Structure 1
Amino acid sequence: MAPHGFVERLAELARVGEPFVSVTMVEAVGSTPQDTGSKMLVTTEGLSSGTVGGGKVEHKAIQHAQAMLADTSGQAPVHQLVEWNLQRDVGMTCGGVVKLFFETYNHSDWQVVIFGAGHVASAVTSCLGQINCHTRCIDSRSEWLDKIADRDRLTKIRTDDLPAQVAALPSDAFVLCITMGHGTDRPVLAEIFRQGRTFPYLGVIGSRAKRGVLVRELVADGIPREQAEAFHCPIGLPLGTNEPGEIAISVVAELIQERDRWRGKK
């Protein structure tokens, strides 16, 4: 039986999109510290809920789960079944054997962060909702965020300080700046470059002329030119009209193309 609060904590972690591993003891033979069916949840910070026995075996299991979460190559295993001899593999005096099943959640999900919640950003968010993707939409305008329908794997963040959100972005996120305009896109870009953050994809909506202005202003702000030029603008594949829905399809198509390239797919 799962420990009290386990299911509730699992649901909470799944809802907010935090990467975690569910660990289940599927078999326990001989002298072992816990029974078959025991469970725990592990995040990047460590044990979050439950137990598979405590002591050395649990410590090793937590380290194994965290190592799975630390692999951001896009090719990390989603599930793993391991068998450990407690004496040989874990260093315990008891001679039992345990089999543990590790299941990752949110870790292999594609992460897309959108700064902005206007017409195009809303259309991109809606388009991403049709595929296996966790989306984070950030804007200062609650009335625009409220127009975007709530759903699983969508986090809406209302803040007056968009650049302050940069530090909390996952390193494997695909990041889009689709804010009210140049004046609100540039501070986000500048903060990304000042923090030395690199993402698999960083894009800003706009024309080639806008890109030139952004690069000049970033360089004037002290960002090295090579770094200041490290973003996509315009974004999206060259197809369709300027209608928000068609722009969104072109943008998401390019994101999928870049995601597959990043993951090493042909």
Structure 2
Amino acid sequence: MALDIVRHHQALSRLMESQTPVVIVTLLAVRGSAPQDVGAKAIVTAVGLAHGTVGGGKIENAAIEHALQMLNSGDRPTNDMVTWNLQTDIGMTCGGEVKLFFEVFGRIDWHLAVFGAGHVAQALIPMLMQLQCHVTWIDPRIEWLQRVPDHPRLTKRCVEHPEQLVAEQSPGSFFVLINRGHATDFPVLCELLKSRQAPYIGVIGSLQKRKVLERELGQAGVDKDRIAAFTCPIGLSIGNNSPAEIAISIVAQLLQQRDSVGAQSETPAR
């Protein structure tokens, strides 16, 4: 038991030093049979179970799912106590109950979704990883996503139709559209403006591109007031047109907007 406690603290220390948000799950009580003793602990990060166990199998899967929901939702409390019936709540054949306590540490409430993995994104993503935010990075090209090292606060998604992931993004997310061109930016932008509101929607490109986007959004049936709800060109008017300096201008604008409105929860688009 003493060795388990030491290993738990060592694992937690490593994660906290790397600024990785975690949920500590503690098994408080058991009625009936359970595959772990009271006091067992597990550490969950955004990528799943990082250390320990509270029982394995369906109990642990349910605990991990609950922990991930707490990590990914800024409007949830930072601690929670649940009592689950092993049959009705977990789907196990044996009877009994488990009581679990969930504690969130270092949760990131500023979420960004970056669509596109080209040269500007290659410069932007490492910069964002220096900030206290979580980034979902989306592109159909896995080889481009793999060019940037993995990070606990970076989720890479390789999908053929990126607009399909708009609905999955956390409430209050900031959206950065820096795809390969108009044909890939437009479907994502159209879906965003039709289905959600967000503190920030930025699209890379020129004023001429904005005019084209506005015309095509109108043709696609997007309301006029929603058409005005995106930023293009993206970034502050600083620097040159190199990928690194464009990325710096985007980060500066994101920070400016974050500090202006806060990472507020969105309301459904009407």
Q: TM-score, normalised by structure 2?
A: 0.64
How far, CA to CA, are the matches of 2:80 and 2:156 in structure 1? 35
Percent sequence identity is 44
Contact 2:72 2:170 in 1 (8 A): no
- Find the counterpart in structure 2 of residue 124 from structure 1: 124
Contact 2:140 2:158 in 1 (8 A): yes
How far, CA to CA, are the matches of 1:126 and 1:262 in structure 2? 24
1:230 paired to 2:229: yes
- Find the counterpart in structure 2 of residue 22 from structure 1: 24
1:244 paired to 2:243: yes
CA 1:152/1:42 → structure 2, altered by over 3 Å: closer, same or farther? closer
How far, CA to CA, are the matches of 1:239 and 1:117 in structure 2? 22
How far, CA to CA, are the matches of 2:200 and 2:235 in structure 1? 12
Contact 1:237 1:251 in 2 (8 A): yes
Superposed displacement of residue 243, structure 1: 0.8
1:191 paired to 2:195: no
- Find the counterpart in structure 2 of residue 204 from structure 1: 203
Contact 2:117 2:178 in 1 (8 A): yes
1:35-63 deviation digits (Å, cap 9, x = unpaired):
984547799xxxxx738xxxxxxxxxxxx
Superposed displacement of residue 180, structure 1: 0.5
Superposed displacement of residue 102, structure 1: 5.2
Unmatched tracts of structure 1, length 5 or more: 44-48, 52-64, 83-99
How far, CA to CA, are the matches of 1:232 and 1:166 in structure 2? 17
- Find the counterpart in structure 2 of residue 114 from structure 1: 114
- Find the counterpart in structure 2 of residue 90 from structure 1: none
Mean CA deviation greater in 164-173 or 34-43: 34-43
Superposed displacement of residue 187, structure 1: 0.4
Superposed displacement of residue 101, structure 1: 7.4
Where in structure 2 are the equivalents of 1:149-160 lying within 5 Å?
149-160=149-160
How far, CA to CA, are the matches of 2:124 and 2:69 in structure 1? 33
CA 1:262/1:39 → structure 2, altered by over 3 Å: closer, same or farther? farther
- Find the counterpart in structure 2 of residue 133 from structure 1: 133
Contact 1:22 1:42 in 2 (8 A): yes
- Find the counterpart in structure 2 of residue 176 from structure 1: 176
1:46-81 deviation digits (Å, cap 9, x = unpaired):
xxx738xxxxxxxxxxxxx899769736xx775x69
CA 1:216/1:105 → structure 2, altered by over 3 Å: closer, same or farther? farther
Contact 2:173 2:263 in 1 (8 A): no
Contact 2:108 2:133 in 1 (8 A): no
1:72 paired to 2:36: no
CA 1:244/1:166 → structure 2, altered by over 3 Å: closer, same or farther? same
1:102-150 deviation digits (Å, cap 9, x = unpaired):
5325743421111000000111111111122221111112232222222
- Find the counterpart in structure 2 of residue 258 from structure 1: 257
- Find the counterpart in structure 2 of residue 94 from structure 1: none
- Find the counterpart in structure 2 of residue 57 from structure 1: none
Contact 1:41 1:50 in 2 (8 A): no
Superposed displacement of residue 185, structure 1: 0.4
CA 1:130/1:50 → structure 2, altered by over 3 Å: closer, same or farther? same
Superposed displacement of residue 23, structure 1: 4.6
Unmatched tracts of structure 2, length 5 or more: 32-36, 46-52, 56-66, 82-99, 265-270
1:50 paired to 2:54: yes
Q: TM-score, normalised by structure 1?
A: 0.65
Contact 1:141 1:158 in 2 (8 A): yes
1:137-179 deviation digits (Å, cap 9, x = unpaired):
1111223222222222212211111111112111122111100
CA 1:133/1:218 → structure 2, altered by over 3 Å: closer, same or farther? same
**3-state SS of 2:146 partner:** helix
Contact 1:185 1:204 in 2 (8 A): yes
How far, CA to CA, are the matches of 1:115 and 1:140 in structure 2? 10
